C-alpha cells in the first residue's frame, strides 16, 4: 500500500530467507555434534570404568596375604604340636588348627587360581608369565604335598613349611610384577581419559562458540526486526492518518472487488461505515444497478488479460450510488497493487464531482451564449462592413476629385486627412470581411502547390518588403517545391499573406524567412509545417497574450505601419489555421524577432487529380499543358493575357507583332493562338492568321491551331471571325480570366471543331479597385502593368496636346491598355480620340482632351491608391 513498507519488506524477507535457515542449520549441527561427542565420551568413560582395576589389585595383593595366612596357620599348628610334646593338649585343638590350616591352604590355592584368571588374559611380560607358570606348578606340587602329609606329623609339617617359605620369594615377585603391570595400565587408562576429556572439552568449546555466534545472530536479527517492525508500524500509522485525512474517498478492495477498507471521506461520501462496507462488493453497494453487468465483464476481463476498462486507466467520470439510493457523478481512478502479503488489491480513488459538474454545465451554457452573441456581433459587423464599403468607395473618389481642385493649404491638409481616414476605414472593413469570410466560407479540398502560393505572396509583398528594407526568403524541405497536395489553398494563402505581411510590417532592414517543411513519412497523414520567422521588433510577453485579440496592435502609435495596421491580420491567420486543423504558435522576444509557426494536415492527391489543379479560388487549370501564342501590339494587354493563360496552366509564347507570330508558329506548333486584330504599323492579325494556316497546310501538320481573334471591337463577333482568314472565334478585350477559361475549355483541341462560343457579356468593372487584377496576376505584375497603363495614357494625352504626328498610335496603345485593366470609361474616350485623330479632326480632338484628362486623372488616382494600398 505505500512505498516505505515496500522498501522494508525485502529486508525482512532477506533475514527470513537467509539468516534464519543458517541459524537453524548452525544450531542443528551444534546439537548433533554435541550429542555425538557426549555419547562417545560417555561410552569411552564407561569402558574405562568397566576396567575392574581396584578389585584386581586387591585380589593380587591378597595372594601375598593368603600366603602369609597359610604360613601363620602352619606356624600355629607347629607351635601347638611343640606345646603338646611338653604338656598334654586336647586333641580337638590340634584338629581345629589342622582344619584352619586346610582352609588356609585351600584359600591360598584358590587365590592363585583367581590370580591366574585375573592376570592370565592380560598382556604381561614373558618373564612375569613364566614366573606365574612356575608359581602355579609350585602350588600344585605344594597341594600334592599337603594332601599326602599328616598335619599332625611335625616332620611333614616342617617340610611343608620349608616348601611354603621357599615359595615366598617367587610369590612376591609374581605379585609385584602383576601390581606394577596393573598400576602402569591404570596410569595409561587415566592418560587416555585425560586425552578424551581434553578432546571433549575442545569440541564442547567449539560448539559453545558456535552457539554463542548463533545466539548473537539471533539477537541481532531480533533487534533489527523489532526496529523495523516499529518503523513499519509508525509508517503504517502515518499512512493511515494521511489516508484518513484525505479529502478524497479511498476504497481498497481485494481482487474480486470485496471491500477491505474505506476511509472517512468514503464513509461520508457514500454513507456507509467501515464496518458496514467491509466484505461487501464495491460495485454492488456503490455502483448503480444498470452498470453491474458491465462491471462484472470488466472484472472478468481483468482477471483474464490483466487489462480492464477502468483499472489503471487514469481518471474516469462515472456515476456512483449513495447508501440512500441517490446517484451522483464521481471521478474514479482505480489502481492495481500487490500488498505485503503478495495479494492483488485494487485501490479506488473517488471524488464527488457533482458541484464541479454543475459549475461546468453553467460555464458551458455561459460559453455557448457568449459564442452566440459573438457570432451575432460578427454577423452584424460583416453586414455593416459590406454595406459600408460601397459608400466609402464613393466618398474616397469624391475626396480625390476635391483634391484635384485647387484648394488652399489648410483645406488641402484637411481633405488629405479625410482621405487617409477613409482609406484606413476601407482597409479595416476589408479585413473584417475577410475575417468573417474565413470563418464561414467552406472551401472544398482542392489540389494546390503550397510553395507556389507562398512565392506568389512573396511577389505580391515584394514592394512592401523593399519599402522597409527587408529581404524575404523561402525554404522548402521534405518535398519538391512543385509538389501538388490536396488542401484549402485560399485559406492557406490568406494565412501566409497575413503572417508574412505582419512580419514585414514589424521588421525594418531585416529579413523574413518562410519555411515549409513537408513530413510525409506516414504516407497516410502527410503534414506541412510552416514557420514564418522575422528578426524585427519582437513582441513582449504581455502583448503576446493579446496577440490574437481582434483589433489589437502592440504600442499602436509607435510606427507608421502600425498606425495603418487594422490589427486583424493575426486573427485572420489564426482563424485560418484553426480552419485547416492546425494550431498557430508564436515565439517572440522583444528586440530579437518573432516566429509564427503552425502545422496542418495535407492529403496526397490521387493520380487523376493532378489535372484539375487550382491555382486560385475555383479557377480550374483548363489549359493545363496547352501551348498558347498571344499576339498583341499593346504591352499591357500582351502581358496580362499571357499571365492569365499561365495561371490557367498554359505554356505561353508572346509576340508583339504579326510577323513575329508567323515565325513563332513556324518554329512550334501551338494549340491555341490569341491573335490581336488591329496592330498598326505592321502585319495585321488577319494577315498573320492566313499565313499561319498556309504554313500548317504546307507542313501537313496532324493538328491545326485554334486561332481566336483578340479585339476590343464589340461589333466583331464570332460569325465575322469565322469569315476572316481561318479564325475559329473571337475574344473581346479587356480579356477576363473567367472568359478565357470558358473559351479554353470550349476550344481545347479535343472538342474544337464545330464548337461556336457564344459572345460573352462585356465585363463590368465599375468601382474598379484592381483587386481582381491583383488576384489574377499578383501584385508586382499588376503594379507594373498599371504603371504601364499610366505611362501609356500620359503619352497619349501628351501626343494630343502637342498634336504629335503619331498621336493615333499612342491613342491606340492607351485604348488597349486601359481596356485591359478595366478602365472602360477612359478606354472609350481614348477610342473616340483615336478615331478623331485618325480622321484628322484635330479641333474636336482638343475639345475632347479635357474630358479625357479628367477621366485619366481619376484613373490615375485610382491606380495610385491601389498601388499604395497594396504596399501597405
Partner 1 sequence: MDSRGFLTGSTAAALASAFTAQASDITLLLDGDVNGGAGPGHLRLTAIDGYIVTADRNLITSEAPIISNRIDDQPFDRRNKRPLWAVFPYDHATKFRSETIFPKAYGSLSRLQFWLNKK
Q: Are residues 830 and 815 in contact, defined by beta-carbon separation less than 8 angstroms? A: yes
CB of 50 to partner 1, least distance (A): 4
**Judged by CB, which is closer to partner 1: 114, or 666?**
114
CB closer to partner 1, 119 vs 249: 119
What is residue 258's DSSP assignment?
A: B
Contact between 665 and 631 under an 8 Å Cβ cutoff? The reply is no
Q: Can you name the residues that pair with 672 across neighbouring β-strands?
A: 628, 706
> What angle, 0 to 180 degrees and rounded to 10, lies between the N-to-C axes of helices 409-440 and 842-871?
60
Q: Virtual CA dihedral for 553, 556, 559, 561, nearest 10 degrees?
A: 40
Q: How far is CA 64 from CA 111, 118, 321, 723, in A?
A: 9, 15, 115, 184
- What is the CB-side half-sphere exposure of residue 123 using CA atoms within 13 A? 2
| Residue 414 phi, psi (nearest 5) | -65, -40
| Torsion 360-364-367-369 (CA) sign | negative
* DSSP code per residue over 397-422: HHHHHHHHS---HHHHHHHHHHHHHH
SS3 assignment, position 245 = helix
Q: Tell me how long the chain is.
A: 872
Q: How many CA atoms lie within 13 A of 414 on its CB side?
A: 6
Output the smallest distance, CB 58 to partner 1, in A. 8
Instruction: Give burial (CB, 10 Å; 0-12/13-18/19+) of 351.
Output: middle
**What is the C-alpha to C-alpha distance for residues 19 and 688, in angstroms, rounded to an integer?**
113
Apex CA 492: angle with CA 489 and CA 495, to 5°?
155
Cβ nearer to partner 1, comparing 113 with 314: 113
Question: Among residues 563, 209, 633, 427, which one has the least CA distance to residue 217?
Answer: 209
Given the complex with partner 1, which of 143 and 627 has the nearer CB atom? 143
Minimum CB–partner distance for residue 64 and partner 1 (Å): 14
Closest contact distance (angstroms) between CB of 232 and partner 1 is: 58
Nearer to partner 1, 41 or 448 (CB): 41
Which C-beta is closer to partner 1: that of 56 or that of 621?
56
Longest CA–CA span in the chain (Å) reads: 230
Taking the complex as a whole, the smallest distance from the CB of residue 225 to partner 1 amounts, in Å, to 49
Question: In terms of CB distance, is 116 or 378 closer to partner 1?
Answer: 116
Closer by beta carbon to partner 1, 49 or else 367 = 49
User: Could you give the dihedral angle defined by the CA atoms of residues 310, 316, 322 and 326, in that order, rounded to the nearest 10 degrees?
Assistant: -120
SS3 548: coil
The DSSP secondary-structure symbol of 15 reads I
CB of 148 to partner 1, least distance (A): 15
- Give the residue with the Cβ less far from partner 1, 106 or 775: 106
Give the nearer residue to partner 1 in terms of CB position, either 65 or 604: 65
48 in Cβ contact with 192 (< 8 Å)? yes
Nearest distance in Å: CB 49, partner 1? 6
Q: Which residues bind partner 1 (CB under 8 A)?
A: 46, 49-50, 52-55, 58, 66, 103, 106-107, 109-110, 113-114, 143
CA neighbor of 784 nearest in space, from 639, 616, 629: 639
Judge contact between 116 and 132, C-beta under 8 A.
Answer: yes
Q: What b-and-e string marks burial along 813-842, b requiring 16 or more CB atoms within 10 Å of the CB?
A: bbbbbbbbbbbbebbebbbbbbebbeeeee
* 8 A C-beta contact, residue 728 and residue 752: yes
Q: Least distance to partner 1 from the beta carbon of 69, Å?
A: 8
Name which of 113 and 469 has its Cβ closer to partner 1: 113
Closer Cβ to partner 1, 46 or 408, answer by number: 46
Distance CA 98, CA 378 (A): 166
Closest Cα to residue 474, out of 499, 491, 494, 447?
Answer: 499
Residue 93 has phi, psi (to 5 degrees) of -65, -45
What is the smallest separation between the CB atom of 110 and partner 1, expressed in angstroms? Answer: 5
The least CB distance from residue 138 to partner 1, in Å, is 15
CB of 182 to partner 1, least distance (A): 13
Nearer of residues 49 and 198 to partner 1, judged by Cβ = 49
Minimum CB–partner distance for residue 78 and partner 1 (Å): 21
Closest CB 62 distance from partner 1, rounded Å: 9
Q: Between residues 53 and 264, which has the closer beta carbon with respect to partner 1?
A: 53
Shortest distance in whole angstroms from residue 98 CB to partner 1: 15
Query: What is the DSSP-derived secondary structure letter of residue 661?
Result: H
Nearer to partner 1, 143 or 752 (CB): 143
Shortest gap between Cβ of 162 and partner 1 (angstroms)? Answer: 21
Is 182 or 747 the residue whose CB approaches partner 1 more closely?
Answer: 182
CA-CA-CA-CA torsion for 827, 828, 833, 837, nearest 10 degrees?
A: 90
> From the CB of 66, what's the least distance to partner 1, in Å?
7
Closest CB to partner 1 among residues 107, 627? 107
Smaller CB separation from partner 1, 103 or 226: 103
DSSP-H helix ranges across 87-125: 91-120
What is the secondary structure of 139-154 as a DSSP string?
HHHHHHHHHHS-TT-H
Residue 131 C-beta: closest distance to partner 1, Å = 21
Q: Least distance to partner 1 from the beta carbon of 139, Å?
A: 10
What value does the CA radius of gyration of the chain take, rounded to a whole number of Å?
Answer: 67
Q: What angle do CA 525, 527, 532 make, to 5 degrees?
A: 170
Amino acid at each position: 500500500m505505500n512505498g516505505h513498507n515496500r522498501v522494508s519488506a525485502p529486508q525482512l524477507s532477506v533475514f527470513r530467507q537467509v539468516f534464519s535457515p543458517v541459524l537453524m542449520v548452525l544450531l542443528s549441527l551444534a546439537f548433533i555434534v554435541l550429542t555425538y561427542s557426549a555419547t562417545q565420551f560417555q561410552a569411552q568413560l564407561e569402558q574405562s570404568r568397566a576396567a575392574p582395576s581396584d578389585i584386581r589389585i586387591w585380589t593380587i595383593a591378597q595372594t601375598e596375604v593368603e600366603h602369609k595366612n597359610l604360613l601363620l596357620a602352619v606356624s600355629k599348628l607347629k607351635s601347638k604340636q611343640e606345646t603338646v610334646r611338653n604338656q598334654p593338649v586336647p586333641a580337638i585343638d590340634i584338629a581345629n588348627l589342622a582344619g584352619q590350616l586346610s582352609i588356609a591352604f585351600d584359600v591360598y590355592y584358590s587365590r592363585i587360581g583367581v590370580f591366574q584368571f585375573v592376570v592370565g588374559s592380560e598382556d604381561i611380560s614373558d618373564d612375569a608369565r613364566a614366573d606365574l607358570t612356575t608359581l602355579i606348578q609350585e602350588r600344585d606340587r605344594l597341594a600334592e604335598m599337603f594332601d599326602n602329609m599328616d598335619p599332625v606329623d611335625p616332620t611333614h609339617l616342617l617340610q611343608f613349611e620349608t616348601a611354603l617359605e621357599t615359595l615366598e620369594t617367587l610369590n612376591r615377585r609374581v605379585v609385584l610384577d602383576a601390581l606394577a603391570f596393573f598400576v602402569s595400565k591404570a596410569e595409561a587408562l587415566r592418560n587416555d581419559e585425560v586425552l578424551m576429556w581434553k578432546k571433549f572439552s575442545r569440541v564442547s568449546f567449539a560448539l559453545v562458540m558456535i552457539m554463542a555466534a548463533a545466539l548473537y545472530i539471533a539477537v541481532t536479527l531480533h533487534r533489527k526486526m523489532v526496529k523495523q517492525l516499529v518503523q513499519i508500524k509508525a509508517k503504517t500509522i502515518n499512512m493511515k492518518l494521511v489516508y484518513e485525512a484525505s479529502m478524497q474517498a479511498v476504497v481498497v478492495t481485494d481482487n474480486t472487488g470485496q471491500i477491505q477498507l474505506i476511509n472517512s471521506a468514503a464513509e461520508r461520501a457514500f454513507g456507509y461505515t467501515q464496518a458496514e462496507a467491509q466484505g461487501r462488493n464495491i460495485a454492488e453497494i456503490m455502483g448503480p444497478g444498470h452498470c453491474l453487468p458491465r462491471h462484472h465483464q470488466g472484472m472478468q476481463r481483468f482477471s483474464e488479460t490483466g487489462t480492464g476498462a477502468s483499472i489503471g486507466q487514469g481518471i474516469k467520470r462515472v456515476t456512483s450510488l449513495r447508501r440512500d439510493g441517490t446517484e451522483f457523478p464521481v471521478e474514479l481512478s482505480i489502481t492495481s497493487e500487490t500488498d505485503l502479503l503478495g495479494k492483488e488489491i485494487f485501490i479506488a480513488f473517488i471524488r464527488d464531482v457533482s458541484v464541479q459538474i454543475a459549475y461546468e454545465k453553467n460555464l458551458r451554457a455561459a460559453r455557448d451564449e457568449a459564442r452566440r452573441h459573438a457570432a451575432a456581433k460578427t454577423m452584424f459587423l460583416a453586414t455593416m462592413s459590406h454595406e459600408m464599403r460601397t459608400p466609402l468607395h464613393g466618398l474616397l473618389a469624391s475626396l480625390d476629385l476635391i483634391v484635384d481642385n485647387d484648394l488652399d493649404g489648410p483645406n488641402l491638409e484637411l481633405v488629405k486627412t479625410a482621405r487617409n481616414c477613409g482609406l484606413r476605414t476601407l482597409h479595416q472593413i476589408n479585413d473584417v470581411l475577410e475575417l468573417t469570410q474565413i470563418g464561414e466560407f467552406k472551401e472544398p479540398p482542392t489540389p494546390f502547390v503550397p510553395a507556389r502560393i507562398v512565392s506568389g505572396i512573396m511577389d505580391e509583398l515584394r514592394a512592401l518588403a523593399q519599402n522597409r528594407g527587408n529581404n524575404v526568403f523561402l525554404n522548402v524541405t521534405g518535398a519538391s517545391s512543385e509538389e501538388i497536395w490536396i488542401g484549402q489553398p485560399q485559406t492557406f494563402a490568406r494565412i501566409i499573406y497575413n503572417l508574412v505581411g505582419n512580419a514585414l510590417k514589424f521588421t525594418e532592414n531585416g529579413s523574413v524567412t518562410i519555411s515549409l517543411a513537408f513530413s510525409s513519412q506516414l504516407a497516410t497523414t502527410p503534414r506541412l509545417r510552416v514557420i514564418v520567422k522575422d528578426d524585427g521588433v519582437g513582441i513582449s510577453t504581455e502583448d503576446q497574450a493579446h496577440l490574437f485579440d481582434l483589433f489589437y496592435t502592440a504600442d499602436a502609435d509607435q510606427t507608421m505601419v502600425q498606425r495603418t495596421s487594422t490589427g486583424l491580420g493575426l486573427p485572420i491567420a489564426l482563424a485560418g489555421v484553426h480552419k485547416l486543423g492546425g494550431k498557430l504558435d508564436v515565439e517572440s522576444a522583444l528586440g530579437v524577432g518573432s516566429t509564427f509557426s503552425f502545422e496542418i494536415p495535407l492529403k496526397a492527391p490521387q493520380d487523376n487529380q493532378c489535372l484539375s489543379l487550382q491555382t486560385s479560388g475555383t479557377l480550374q487549370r483548363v489549359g493545363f499543358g496547352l501551348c498558347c501564342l498571344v499576339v498583341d501590339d499593346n504591352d499591357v494587354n500582351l502581358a496580362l493575357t499571357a499571365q492569365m493563360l499561365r495561371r490557367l496552366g498554359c505554356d505561353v509564347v508572346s509576340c508583339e507583332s504579326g510577323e513575329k507570330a508567323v515565325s513563332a508558329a513556324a518554329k512550334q506548333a501551338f494549340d491555341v493562338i490569341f491573335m490581336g486584330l488591329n496592330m498598326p504599323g505592321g502585319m495585321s492579325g488577319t494577315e498573320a492568321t492566313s499565313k499561319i494556316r498556309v504554313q500548317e497546310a504546307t507542313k501537313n501538320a496532324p493538328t491545326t491551331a485554334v486561332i481566336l481573334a483578340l479585339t476590343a471591337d464589340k461589333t466583331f463577333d464570332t460569325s465575322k471571325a469565322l469569315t476572316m482568314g481561318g479564325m475559329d472565334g473571337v475574344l473581346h478585350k479587356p480579356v477576363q480570366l473567367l472568359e478565357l477559361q470558358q473559351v479554353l475549355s470550349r476550344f481545347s483541341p479535343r472538342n474544337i471543331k464545330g464548337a461556336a462560343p457564344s459572345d460573352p457579356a462585356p465585363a463590368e468593372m465599375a468601382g474598379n479597385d484592381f483587386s481582381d487584377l491583383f488576384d489574377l496576376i499578383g501584385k508586382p505584375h499588376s503594379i507594373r502593368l498599371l504603371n504601364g497603363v499610366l505611362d501609356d495614357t500620359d503619352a497619349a494625352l501628351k501626343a494630343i496636346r502637342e498634336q504629335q504626328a503619331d498621336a493615333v498610335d499612342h491613342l491606340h496603345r492607351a485604348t488597349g491598355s486601359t481596356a485591359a485593366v478595366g478602365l472602360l470609361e477612359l478606354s472609350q474616350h481614348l477610342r473616340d480620340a483615336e478615331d478623331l485623330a485618325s480622321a484628322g479632326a484635330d479641333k474636336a480632338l482638343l475639345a475632347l482632351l479635357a474630358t479625357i484628362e479628367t477621366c485619366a486623372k481619376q484613373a490615375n488616382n485610382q491606380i495610385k491608391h491601389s498601388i499604395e494600398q497594396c504596399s501597405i
